[in-house]
Structure 1
């Protein structure tokens, strides 16, 4: 199995509802985001997927989040946890590159999106 990974970052503010602690207050993070694509077969050029295509999609999605208050985005239902951010980014990449939807066969597919709020705190959304 081959895997490629690209990453980018964005800065945003948020607060967590239904949370009893300091994160219930408005605060910010410099998020790091990684997108992982896997597959069994390489294309004619010997690549699983063009890094440029995946990076363009990831940067585009993260640009929509950059320097915002994530609680203002309806998609997060007023509670933008790292887990919800990871799923939003995952789904957004698939909307931009529908060929990465996992199906049976050898084609490349989006395996996971990791969202790091800090160097040591990560949430992941994956297909398995």
Structure 2
């Protein structure tokens, strides 16, 4: 089984609703989104999936979030914009998009880093 990962950085602000601590205040992060896909076969060129195509898959979501107040973006206007919820929501979006583009590939996980030391990862396994 082959696996590819791609990471993209973006900056955004958020606040955690009903949180009993500092994160209840509006604050920002330089986020890192990491996406991992897998598949059993590479092409004749030795490529599982073009890194450029993986970046394009991620870019629409990055454009929605980058330099925005995440709490105002669907679904985070109703769901607390925690790293865990972001990883889950982005996973759901990418899973459908990847299946439509290339059903031979599986989305392994989406990981959201809020700081260099703190991340949340969602996978279905």
TM-score (norm 2): 0.89
Equivalent residues in 2 for 1:25-44, closer than 5 Å:
25-44=25-44
For 2:118 and 2:79, the matched residues in 1 are separated by 21
For 2:108 and 2:10, the matched residues in 1 are separated by 21
| Residue of structure 1 in register with 2:93 after alignment | 92
Q: Is there any run of 5+ residues in structure 2 with no aligned partner, and where?
A: none
Is the contact made by 1:38 and 1:111 (CA closer than 8 Å) also made in structure 2?
A: yes
For 1:125 and 1:15, the matched residues in 2 are separated by 21
Secondary structure of residue in 2 paired with 1:94: helix
Instruction: Please tell me the root mean square deviation across aligned C-alpha atoms, in Å.
Output: 1.8
The Cα shift of 1:56 comes to: 0.9
1:43–1:127 distance in 2 versus 1, CA, 3 Å: farther
Q: Is there any run of 5+ residues in structure 1 with no aligned partner, and where?
A: none
| Residue of structure 2 in register with 1:108 after alignment | 105
TM-score (norm 1): 0.87
